[in-house]
Amino acid sequence: MTPTEFGDENENSSHSALERASAASRSTWVSVAVNVCLSIAQIGVGIFAKSQGLIADGVHSLTDLVADFVVLFASHHSKKDADENHPYGHQRFENAASFILGLLLMAVGAGMVWEAILKLESPETIAEVHSIALWMAGAALLAKECLFRYMLAIAKRIKSSMLIANAWHARSDAASSFVVGVGIIGNLAGYPILDPIAALIVGLMILKMGWTFAWDALHDLMDRAVDEIELSAIRETLLKTPGISGVHDLRTRKMGDMIIADVHIEVDASLTVEAGHDIAVDARRRVLERHRVLNLMTHIDPWSRPDLDHDSEPPPINLEKAG
């Protein structure tokens, strides 16, 4: 997830975990209602009109229901407070949900590609579709595009990568309905092979999108750091804290849509331990207020003195004494 997708990531998010979970639940239930209606209508009309593309699009809408319930499950668990086994909270349920959504998209895309290839290998089995299929494809395209814009707006407002993934899942449906519509038009114009070609294109689009989501989520689960823009913003906040003369070894890792960070801050060596501690507490407060940082661990170093924690060549270990 990049800053451009969330807008200005450097702004402090005023949404609590409970508010974010509530918004995710509300938008997902809207998606459930839309997808139930669409899948029933598309599959029913597709069977009646003999359109493989429309049936495939209806099956894709059914997979959205699975995706929606994955989001609801993750949203419910991610809002739980930290506990003994999860001292930083449960935000990574969102990363796991994004990964599952990506795998789901890949599976659906691969299935659609396979079915389309089978049809293309036997073009004589392709039936002429009924014109009602085109009207159904147009209605599905409009409904899915509206659903995508609604879900994306909420995802950006509460800054949730999980909802971003689910919104783009809905957009993949809109794109597939458009391609299916083109295939149906071609079929009605006397080129029946365009219907399975449309299904093939849709499958490849979904396959690629699923890979992108799964790969990004996997990197987040492996403690991927934030981008340099957000890292620089956090460093600037630290440097503007009164009493801090320098900052180094600022490291971050993703925790859902939040960040865990640790940093070495440099303060005047003549300060008391209490004064240095107060500066560290103030720095942590500022970072947590202005950035999507869940926790910041600080280490105090004397300013303009060698940092003995990071010697380039650590002293050799005396094994005899160690024994």
pLDDT per position as a tens digit, 132-186: 988 998 898 898 888 888 888 888 887 776 677 778 777 777 777 888 888 888 8
Region 218-225 average pLDDT:
80
**Would you state the pLDDT for residue 183?**
85
Listed residue (74, 77, 68) closest to 34, CA to CA: 68
Does residue 12 carry a pLDDT above 50? no
Phi-psi region of 15 (alpha: psi -120 to 50; beta: other; left: phi over 0): beta
Distance, CA of 225 to CA of 294 (rounded, Å): 14
Task: Say whether 297 sits in a helix, a strand or coil.
Answer: strand
**Would you state the pLDDT for residue 6?**
47
The Cα-based distances of 224 to 13, 104, 117, 216, 257 in angstroms read 21, 23, 38, 9, 12
Q: How long is the chain?
A: 323
Does the global pTM surpass 0.85?
no
Distance, CA of 186 to CA of 175 (rounded, Å): 17
Distance, CA of 161 to CA of 220 (rounded, Å): 11
**Would you state the pLDDT for residue 163?**
75
